[in-house]
Amino acid sequence: MNSAELSVFIRAIGVHAPERKLTNAELSLMVETSDDWIKSRSGISERRIAGPGENPSDMGAKAAAKALERAGLKAEDIDLLIVATMTPDVPFPSTACLLQAKLGLRRDIPCFDISAACSGFVYALQVGTDMMRSGAYRHVLVIGAEKLSSVVDWQDRTTCVLFGDGAGAAILEATNVKRVGILGNVLGADGTNAELLHCVAGGSASPASAETLRDGKHFLRMNGKEVFRLAVRVMAESCERVLAKCGVDSDQVAWFIPHQANIRIVEAVANQLNVGMERFPFNLDRYGNTSAASIPLALEEAWRDGKIKHGDLVLLVAFGAGLTWGATLLRWHEPTL
């Protein structure tokens, strides 16, 4: 069969979140804020915080192990590893290479990172899908893993209240069943707005120094008002574009899984699409914004809770630093049924 005719679906998904929960009440003892202030502006009640020595590769490995177990696969069955992260363990080598070793994957497979911030998982899904359709790979492991607690300024109440840590992993597989799995993707970026959500220091343009540490230039900085405005617009547009590309109406979609950034953003996107919030599962109240991990965390929970069923149309949509955005439409496929 022509490899271009292959359908690519998510065979299994696994997630991991650190044990430690940081509540709004605890945060109010660290910075000038309150439970009501945080909830009213974001919808977040608590977030997970990685422990000392618990890195994105560690969390990603645990999420991947669960996905492999659910898929009934072994580490040696994986032909390609893609990791989406904006908080890699180290600048180099890639977190994917570190994960390859921790998972015991074969040494002859390609492993690489994608840096698209909160859109990273959606970006990685398209890259993995297109590479599978080349016919060169049978099982692709896609992981979103973040340790955002390592890049937030815990004295900046506008950002530290929003973010958390976690990981999610999906195993992609090909099938000759038509019109199942990933039906279409759209991606986009606008680097002219990079300064709206960025980290100034730590790269080659501004290497770490006593001065950059003193001035807090290694922390995430965000223009929340502008990010909100742009996020709503491009997330709604991305949904509309991928639906049009696939010839699907919004009322045919069972579930919209948005990047879990802010409940007010999700509500605004739902309003623009004229879709009820009951079709937007969210768990950001318990996890906060986990960047590239947020969509797999929400997708896995909706599936585990029995919301997502075989044959359902599911739309994933994200927005992140870069600025980047993207959407993926898929028909949930469980080949064991």
CB 281 within 8 A of CB 253: no
Residue of 304, 297, 300, 295 whose CA lies nearest to 327: 295
Please provide residue 32's backbone torsions phi and psi, each rounded to the nearest 5 degrees.
Answer: -70, 100
Neighbours of 219 (CB within 10 A): 19
Residue 248 belongs to what H/E stretch?
A: none
Decide if 289 is catalytic: yes
CA distance from start to end of the chain: 23
Q: How would you class 334 by CB atoms within 10 Å of its CB: exposed for 0-12, middle for 13-18, buried for 19 or more?
A: middle
Alpha helices, DSSP H, located in the chain:
24-27, 35-42, 56-71, 95-103, 120-132, 157-160, 210-214, 224-246, 263-273, 284-287, 294-304
Q: Exactly one of 16, 24, 97, 118 is catalytic; which is it?
A: 118
**What is the rounded distance in angstroms from the CA atom of residue 247 to the CA atom of residue 270?**
20
CB 160 within 8 A of CB 181: no
CA distances from 269 to 57, 147, 209, 272, 321 (A): 32, 27, 41, 5, 18
Decide if 118 is catalytic: yes
**What is the rounded distance in angstroms from the CA atom of residue 331 to the CA atom of residue 123?**
18
CB 250 within 8 A of CB 313: no
Q: Exactly one of 24, 55, 185, 289 is catalytic; which is it?
A: 289
Which residues participate in catalysis according to the annotation?
A: 118, 259, 289
